[in-house]
């Protein structure tokens, strides 16, 4: 089932998610809904918090559904290592129409469970490392806009406030 994606400014999007404690049918349905929602958007990643579920889960697929083996499901993820730097433009399904350059680690090592609860450790570089960090931010209640400073952040936030007032957000 495709679920509505929360937008920047909606409270649940800005709150820290809780650990998953049960790997049951409800979790599998949630993950399936997240994958379907991500592909429908379309996007390369989606955190549970973006659909209003305060659990530490994200899905990422750089192929946007073209290669089944590229789909990654991370439950209760943590970073084991982060190093290097990359400076690239990012967007977000929770802030449609807005992009900005964000500094991120160039390489990450993330550990978490897969959808059945088996532990996995994934090393990611480049865009995949960026996607992992972006989705982990969501699980901590942050959106990429929160990482911006100065005029760039102010301009985006003001535009979103204007859109909200006019009912277009």
User: Each residue of 67-107: pLDDT tens digit?
Assistant: 999 999 999 999 999 999 999 999 999 999 999 999 999 99
Task: Give the residue-averaged pLDDT of 60-70.
Answer: 94
Residues 34, 94: Cα–Cα separation, whole Å: 14
Tokens read off for 141: 């209640």
pTM of the model: 0.96
Q: In this predicted structure, what is the pLDDT of residue 36?
A: 98
Q: How confident is the model at residue 12 (pLDDT cuts 50, 70, 90)?
A: very high
Write out the DSSP string of 74-86: EEEEEEEEEES-E
Tokens read off for 56: 């530490």
Q: Are 47 and 135 in contact (CB under 8 A)?
A: yes
Tokens read off for 12: 């649940």
> E strands along the chain, which residues?
45-47, 57-60, 72-83, 86-91, 99-104, 107-113, 119-125
Q: In this predicted structure, what is the pLDDT of residue 107?
A: 98
Catalytic residues: 135
Looking at every residue in the chain, the average pLDDT score rounds to 97
CATH-assigned architecture of domain 11-165:
Alpha-Beta Complex (3.90)
Domain ranges of the chain: 11-165
Q: How confident is the model at residue 139 (pLDDT cuts 50, 70, 90)?
A: very high
């Amino acid at each position: 089932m495709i679920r509505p994606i929360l937008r920047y400014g909606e409270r649940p999007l800005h709150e820290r998610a809780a650990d998953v404690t049960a790997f049951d049918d409800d979790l599998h349905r949630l993950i399936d809904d997240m994958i379907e929602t991500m592909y429908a958007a379309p996007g390369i990643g989606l955190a549970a918090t973006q659909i209003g579920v305060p659990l530490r889960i994200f899905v990422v697929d750089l192929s946007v559904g073209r290669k089944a083996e590229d789909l990654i499901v991370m439950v209760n993820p943590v970073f084991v290592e982060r190093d290097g730097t990359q400076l690239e433009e990012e967007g977000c399904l929770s802030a449609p129409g807005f992009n900005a350059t964000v500094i991120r680690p160039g390489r990450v090592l993330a550990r978490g469970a897969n959808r059945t609860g088996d532990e996995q450790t994934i090393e990611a570089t480049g865009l995949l490392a960026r996607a992992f960090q972006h989705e982990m931010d969501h699980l901590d209640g942050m959106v990429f806009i929160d990482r911006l400073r100065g005029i760039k952040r102010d301009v985006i936030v003001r535009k979103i406030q204007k859109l909200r007032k006019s009912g277009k957000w």
